[in-house]
Amino acid sequence: MEFTEYHCPRCDKTLEREGEGLLCKFCGLNFDETRAGEFEREREYAEDDLAWNEYNSAGLLSGAVYFACDKCETNYAVPIEDGTPDAQSADVCCPLCGGMLLSVATTAPVPDLLLPFNCDRKAAEDAFSRFCKFKPLLPSKFTPHKNIKLLKKLYLPYWTAACTAQYKTRYDAVKRKKQRTDSEKSIQTDGFMALREGTAAYSGLLSSALSTAEDILTRDFSLEEGKPFDKMPDAIVAVPDIPAKQAQKELSELVGASMDKLLKGTVKGYSKKKRAAGRLCISDTHTNLALVPLWIISAEYKGRIYRFVMNAQNGKVSGELPYSKLKIASVFAICTAAISVVGTVLTLLL
C-alpha cells in the first residue's frame, strides 16, 4: 500500500519529503519510506467490531402483579398467591427507597437464570444486628430492633454475558539510554511501535439491569449455582429498566480494559509505554437475564435513605449507616475534657 501522506511516529505531524527520505520538521527526525509506511499502516485502526447478540426474552412474566414506586419509579413484579396478590408483599413499600408502591399496568421479560436464596431471614437479621454492633455514633432513633422490621426479600435483575474477545493494539514505547563520552553526556532515545494482538474468552460478565440499584451489590455472584427460570419466585422481583444493548456497551468497555491490561503486560523492557490505538472485536456472544437474590433494608433517617444489603447467595453484606452529629459532638467534648484534665494534672504532678 502506498501512502500520499506520512506522519511522524513521535509527534504525529505530517512528514515532508527531503531527498529520498522523509523529515519531521518539528522533531528534526529523518525516516526512510519503508519505516514510515510501516507506521502509517498501524497508525489508525478501524472501529471496534462488537457483534453482541440481540437479546430476546422468552416471554413475559406470569403469576405476578405489577407495582411502581412513586418515589424512585422502580417497577416490581409481586407474586400472586392463590389467585390474589400476596397481601404482605403488595402492602410493602419500595424495597430500594421506602416509597409507596402503586399498582401499574406493565410487563416484565422472563429471566433466564434464577440464583438461589442460600441465606434465610434469620441469617439476614443476625447479619444486620452484627452490622450495627459497636457503632457508638449510630443515632439513638436508628435502632437495629426498629429497622429489622423493614428487612425485605428481593430479586434484582442483572445482565450476564459470555463472549470471545480479539484485541489488536499499538503501544508507543521508548527506551532511554544514557551515554557518556569524554566531553559530554547525552541521552539516546529509541522510539518503538509495539504491536500486540490477542484473544480471550469471557464468561459470567455482569452488568446491572436496574438503574436505581446499579451499585448496591458487589458483582461477585456464582452463576454456576443458577437454575433456569421456570416460575415466578416467592419474592418481589425488580423489573429491569436498562436495555441489554446499554449493558453490552458497558461490558465491551470492561472487556476492552481487561484485554488492554493483559496485552500491556507483554510490552516489557521499555522506559515508557502508552496505548496509542486499539481495536476490539467481540464474537460468540451470549446475553442472559439473571435474577440475583438479596435481603435489603432501606431505612430513612433525616430525609436520606440508608441501605443495608445482604447478598443472599453468599452472605456478603454491605451498606451505610447514619451517624448522629450530637453524638460526635459529645464524643469530641468528652474526649477533649478528659485529655485536657488528665494532661494538666499529670503535668502539674510530674
Partner 1 sequence: MKKFISAVTILTAALCLSTSVSAQAQHKVYDTAEVLSVQDETMLEELAENLALSHGVDAMICTERSLDALPEERAKSLFSSNDVGIGNSRDGILLLIWFEDDNPNYIIYQNGWADKVYTEYAAERIDELISQDIKKRDFAGAAQQLLKVSDKFMSAQEKGNPYSLDRPYRTSGDILRIWLLWVCIGAVVSCGICAALVAGMRKRTTNNVIYSAAPEKKSFAVTTQRDILLYTKISNDDGKEKLDDLKNSR
Residue 188 in contact with partner 1, rule: CB under 8 A: yes
Q: Residue 7 has what DSSP assignment?
A: B
Q: Which one of 63-71, 240-248, 290-298, 342-350 is the stretch in contact with partner 1 (CB under 8 A)?
A: 342-350
Locus of grid cell 412513586 = 70
Least distance (Å) between residue 84 CB and partner 1:
35
Alpha-carbon gap, residue 311 to 119, rounded angstroms: 8
Alpha-carbon gap, residue 129 to 144, rounded angstroms: 6
Residue 219 in contact with partner 1, rule: CB under 8 A: yes
Least distance (Å) between residue 163 CB and partner 1:
10
Residue 3 in contact with partner 1, rule: CB under 8 A: no
List of residues 6+ apart from 321 with CB closer than 8 A: 131, 132, 135, 138, 142, 306, 308
Residue 222 in contact with partner 1, rule: CB under 8 A: no
Q: Give the footprint of partner 1 on residues 10-69 (CB under 8 A).
A: 10, 25-29, 31, 35, 38-39
Residue 167 sits at φ, ψ, to 5 deg, of -130, 125
Least distance (Å) between residue 103 CB and partner 1:
30
Q: Which of 7, 152, 153, 196 binds partner 1 (CB under 8 A)?
A: 196
Comparing CB distances to partner 1, the nearer of 76 and 158 is: 158
Q: Give the footprint of partner 1 on residues 321-340 (CB under 8 A).
A: 321, 323, 328, 331-333, 335-340
Q: Which of 218, 222, 243, 245 binds partner 1 (CB under 8 A)?
A: 218
CB neighbourhood size of 285 (10 A): 20
What are residue 158's DSSP bridge partners?
Answer: 208, 290
Residue 307 in contact with partner 1, rule: CB under 8 A: yes
Q: How many residues does the chain have?
A: 350
Q: Give the footprint of partner 1 on residues 240-299 (CB under 8 A).
A: 251, 254-255, 257-258, 262-263, 266-267
Least distance (Å) between residue 227 CB and partner 1:
22
Contact string 137-176 vs partner 1 (x = CB under 8 A):
xx--------------------------x--x----x---
Comparing CB distances to partner 1, the nearer of 118 and 166 is: 166
Q: Which of 119, 217, 223, 292 binds partner 1 (CB under 8 A)?
A: 217
Alpha-carbon gap, residue 332 to 225, rounded angstroms: 49
Of 230, 289, 233, nearest in space to 80 by CA: 233
Alpha-carbon gap, residue 121 to 127, rounded angstroms: 10
Instruction: Report the DSSP pairing between strands 317-319 and 185-208.
Output: unpaired
Least distance (Å) between residue 92 CB and partner 1:
22
Locus of grid cell 445482565 = 159
> What SS3 state is found at 128?
helix
Residue 319 in contact with partner 1, rule: CB under 8 A: yes
SS3 content of the chain, % helix, strand, coil (to 5): 25, 40, 35
Residue 100 in contact with partner 1, rule: CB under 8 A: no
Give 259's Cβ-side CA count (13 Å radius): 26
Q: Which one of 91-99, 146-154, 225-233, 341-349 is the stretch in contact with partner 1 (CB under 8 A)?
A: 341-349
